[in-house]
Structure formats: C-alpha cells, structure tokens
Amino acid sequence: MKFVARFVHILLWLKVAVSPALLGAFIGGMICFALNEMVLPVITICTGFGVVLGIIWAEKTRRTVGLSKFHGRLIGHPEVDGSKSK
C-alpha cells in the first residue's frame, strides 16, 4: 500500500510541476508563430524556464500546503465541482 501512496504522491507532484512547462512551451510556440518561422531554441528556452518554475512551485507547495490539500482545494472549489453559491 505504501507503493501506491508514493506513486500517487509522485503523480500529484508531476501534475503541479508540468503545468508551467506546458504553458512555457505554448508561449514559445506562439512566439514562433508570430515570427512566422520555427525557432527551436526559443521553444526550448521557454519550456526550460517553465520546467524550472514548475519544479520550484511544486516543491514550495509540497513543503508548505501539501500536494493532497492543494489539489483538494482546487477540486473542491464551488466553481469547479458544480455547486451553486448562495
């Protein structure tokens, strides 16, 4: 059971860390789209910057709030779970 808990914890950490990396790749792609040419170093730099920010964010979240509590707050938000606020 400890293996499953560790695996879920790793997946939650990756979920937090990868999101800025994807955003960086998207921004790099938009820059290349604006330049009308594919410049691989631009995409690589933007993605790398996103990976570094994602690692920092995931570690800060893990140490301060906790990954399970962080995701619980996101999923339990009234706008996400579909309940109507009064």
pLDDT tens per residue across span 2-55: 889 899 889 999 999 999 999 999 999 999 999 888 889 999 999 999 999 999
Tokens linked to 60: 């800060």
81 domain residue, yes or no? no
In total, how many domains does the chain have?
1
- Asked whether residue 7 is assigned to any structural domain, the reply reads yes
Does the pTM of the predicted model rise above 0.75? yes
pLDDT at 45: 94
**In whole angstroms, how far apart are CA 27 and each of 22, 43, 47, 62, 70?**
9, 8, 8, 26, 25
What is the band of 59 on the pLDDT scale with cuts at 50, 70, 90? very high
In a domain, residue 82? The reply is no
| Parent domain of 37 | 1-76
Q: Is 76 helix (H, G, I), strand (E, B) or coil?
A: coil
- 12 assigned to some structural domain: yes
> Could you tell me where the DSSP H helices lie in the chain?
2-35, 40-64, 67-75, 78-81
In a domain, 2, yes or no: yes
Average pLDDT of the segment spanning 67-83:
76
Judge whether residue 80 has pLDDT over 70. Answer: no
- Would you say residue 53 lies in a domain? yes
Is position 72 within any domain?
A: yes
